[in-house]
């Protein structure tokens, strides 16, 4: 294994029992693949190197029990660092760590922890305290785990509240969508009913107009036919009626005169006068003529009926 690259010399040559010492190797990256091939190496020393970060697949080295990462330049640990569930001893002295990943709370077997000489968040630094002896380092492991579990619980609660809020928001959106759809259906239903009513009114108006037109046409036809059939026959009878009345008046006056003369000639002493004799003779002739004159008789009967 060469300096800076971590390759060239086999890691098996550095393996001593279950301990693998890779300190002071000027490493810029961790040879995760080679380490994964050595599951017996449960104790790994990577101190005093130039490590700035750990690759995400580093967390697959779940066989590690003791890990020394002190005196590097680590700015953060992988988010899933808590996968190293068998880890009992962790040394992070003199790095550039400010916080720890929330998954750190899953390191349930951690018994020893050193976080000295890191620019830790004030709250985390106060929880970790000093690690000047074995007792303090063990207390640091317990307190930090409790602190990270509290953070994880709070984050879980926040996540649950967020999920609940999202569910409620989704329900609200669904309810609003259903209300909107129901409103749109009601609007379409009302518009359809209004359209039907409009068409019905148009149909009724057209039907009424058609009936009115037919009635008007029929009336005009009747009025056009009436003068041709009734006016012409009535005018001649009107003239005829007027003429017959005039003739009747003349005849009545004549008859009245004749009756007066006849009365004078028959009822008075003038009946023996030559004039009355002529009148009586004329009366008898006229009476005979009238009886034989059927046309005048019919006219007299028609006039008497009227």
Is CATH 1.10.3190.10 the classification given to domain 12-155? no
**Confidence at residue 282, expressed as pLDDT on a 0 to 100 scale:** 75
Low-confidence stretches of the chain (pLDDT < 50) are 1-8, 228, 230
This model's pTM is above 0.95: no
What distances in angstroms separate CA 109 from CA 31, 48, 115, 224, 275, one per listed residue? 25, 25, 17, 120, 180
**Confidence at residue 305, expressed as pLDDT on a 0 to 100 scale:** 65
**CB-based burial of residue 248 (10 Å sphere; 0-12 exposed, 13-18 middle, 19+ buried)?**
middle
Instruction: Map out the domains of the chain as residue ranges.
Output: 12-155
DSSP letter (8 states) at residue 108: T
Tokens of 178: 């259903």
Q: What CA–CA distance (Å, rounded) separates 33 from 53?
A: 16
Q: Decide: 110 and 102 in contact? Cβ < 8 Å.
A: no
In this predicted model, what pLDDT tens digit does every residue of 6-49 receive, in sequence order? 444 578 888 999 999 999 999 999 999 999 999 999 999 999 99
In the chain, alpha helices (H): 32-36, 122-128, 134-226, 232-267, 274-292, 294-305
In this predicted model, what pLDDT tens digit does every residue of 51-87 receive, in sequence order? 999 999 999 999 999 999 999 999 999 999 999 999 9
């Amino acid at each position: 294994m060469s300096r800076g690259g971590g390759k060239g010399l086999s890691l098996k040559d550095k393996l001593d029992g279950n301990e693998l010492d890779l300190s002071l190797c000027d490493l810029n990256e961790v040879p995760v693949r080679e380490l994964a091939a050595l599951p017996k190496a449960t104790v790994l020393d990577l101190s005093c190197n130039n490590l700035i970060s750990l690759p995400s697949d580093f967390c697959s080295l779940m066989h590690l029990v003791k890990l020394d990462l002190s005196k590097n330049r680590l700015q953060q640990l992988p988010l899933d660092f808590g996968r190293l569930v068998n880890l009992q001893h962790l040394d992070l002295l003199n790095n550039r760590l400010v916080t720890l990943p929330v998954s750190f709370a899953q390191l349930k077997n951690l018994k020893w922890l050193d976080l000295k000489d890191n620019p830790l968040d004030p709250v985390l630094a106060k929880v970790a305290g000093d690690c000047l002896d074995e007792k303090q380092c063990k207390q640091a492991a317990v307190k930090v785990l409790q602190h990270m579990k509290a953070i994880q619980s709070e984050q879980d609660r926040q996540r649950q509240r967020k999920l609940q809020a999202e569910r409620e928001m989704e329900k609200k959106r669904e309810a609003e969508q259903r209300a909107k759809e129901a409103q749109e259906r009601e609007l379409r239903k009302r518009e359809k009913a209004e359209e039907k009513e409009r068409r019905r009114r148009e149909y009724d108006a057209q039907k009424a107009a058609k009936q009115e037109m037919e009635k008007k046409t029929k009336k005009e036809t009747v009025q056009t036919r009436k003068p041709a059939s009734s006016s012409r026959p009535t005018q001649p009878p009107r003239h005829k009626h007027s003429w017959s009345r005039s003739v009747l008046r003349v005849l009545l006056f004549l008859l009245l005169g004749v009756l007066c003369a006849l009365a004078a000639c028959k009822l008075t002493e003038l009946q023996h006068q030559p004039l009355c004799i002529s009148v009586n003779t004329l009366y008898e002739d006229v009476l005979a003529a009238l009886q034989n004159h059927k046309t005048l008789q019919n006219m007299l009967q028609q006039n008497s009926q009227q």
